[in-house]
Amino acid sequence: MTNISSFAGVARAPFLLLPVTLVVCGAGVGVHDGNFRWDRTAIALVGLMALHMAVNIFNEWSDYRTGIDLNTERTPFTGGSGTLPQGKISPNTTLAFGLVCAAIGLGVGVYFRLVLGPLMLVFIAVGALCVLTYTDLLARVGLGEVAAGLGLGMLPVTGVAYVQAESITATAIAASIPAFLMTFNLLLLNEFPDETADREGGRMNLVILLGRRPAALLWTAAAIATPASIIAAWALGYLPIAALAATAPSLLLVGAFRWALGNSDESVPIPALGSNVIWNLATNVVLGVSLIVTA
């Protein structure tokens, strides 16, 4: 019997903290620039949550249909929720749920288009592309990680900042670059445990396209580039000195670096997967808070 936990399962509820942290970061830009608005922030949060849920739901539906989630070894961070393979919800109900979430997200985008003007069409178009084509197109042509970095990283931060100021400021761009890199890396590292199942299911992600060792080195480069981008933005005057505190969560990646640089042919340790998630969430929040306190 389908219940709330089944819907939460296919929506991958534990991962929905990410859009919250992205909104914190984008709203922090608004506060820092003197343009913060509670009402627009709340509406943006609803839209982003709905779109993130839609991506997760469509991914669960597609991976069940293609058999990927029937062959994965699930961890707390990879391999799908197992909700569909366990028969807790039907594929048709899952698809309908995803379409409802996508419609809510689109509705929020249309609202902001009417209120703010034509630039919102760019956010709507790119967001729709990432949501509707991620699983069955972008993740099969080597663009899944970039789409994730844009759709669940850079665009949410700049978008939330944009609905505050009705313009895209240098601070917004500076704050969005780490978000892009971290979400890119979040997906990339999570692809290693699912490599065999993804390959058999027709995926063409960077782990499969490049090979484990080059993909691990790419993850390392993006991880290093994240705090480096914050330091560079501060040096150029785009972020306040307090933003340097957002480099501290990168220390959580010691174990993941050790794996990536020395043992990438082996399974990714579960603690490394966990630290990759916490690093992402913590950096977004610390960066957002640093912008708020220096307003």
CATH of the domain at 98: 1.10.600
pLDDT digits (tens, 9 = 90+) for 100-152: 999 999 999 999 999 998 888 888 888 888 888 888 889 899 999 999 999 99
pLDDT digits (tens, 9 = 90+) for 41-94: 999 999 999 999 999 999 999 989 888 888 877 888 887 888 999 989 999 999
Percent of the chain with pLDDT over 70: 100
Question: What is the model's pLDDT at position 1?
Answer: 55
Question: What is the model's pLDDT at position 295?
Answer: 82
Number of folded domains that form the chain? 1
The answer on pLDDT for 188 being more than 60 is yes
Question: What is the model's pLDDT at position 77?
Answer: 82
Angstrom distance (rounded) from CA 18 to CA 52? 9
Question: What is the model's pLDDT at position 129?
Answer: 85
Arithmetic mean of pLDDT over the chain: 93
pLDDT digits (tens, 9 = 90+) for 3-23: 899 999 999 998 999 999 999
The pTM is what? Answer: 0.94
Supply the range of the domain harboring residue 200.
4-293
229 Rama class: left (phi>0) / alpha (psi -120 to 50) / beta: alpha
pLDDT digits (tens, 9 = 90+) for 155-164: 999 999 999 9
Task: Report H helices in 117-264.
Answer: 120-133, 144-149, 155-165, 170-191, 195-200, 206-210, 212-235, 254-262
Least reliable range by pLDDT among 114-123, 270-279, 285-294? 114-123
Question: What is the model's pLDDT at position 253?
Answer: 98
- The structure tokens listed for 282 are 């913590």
Q: Are the beta carbons of 95 and 61 closer than 8 angstroms?
A: yes
**Residue listed under structure tokens 């009402």:** 39
Mean pLDDT for the stretch of residues 190-210: 92
The answer on pLDDT for 254 being more than 60 is yes
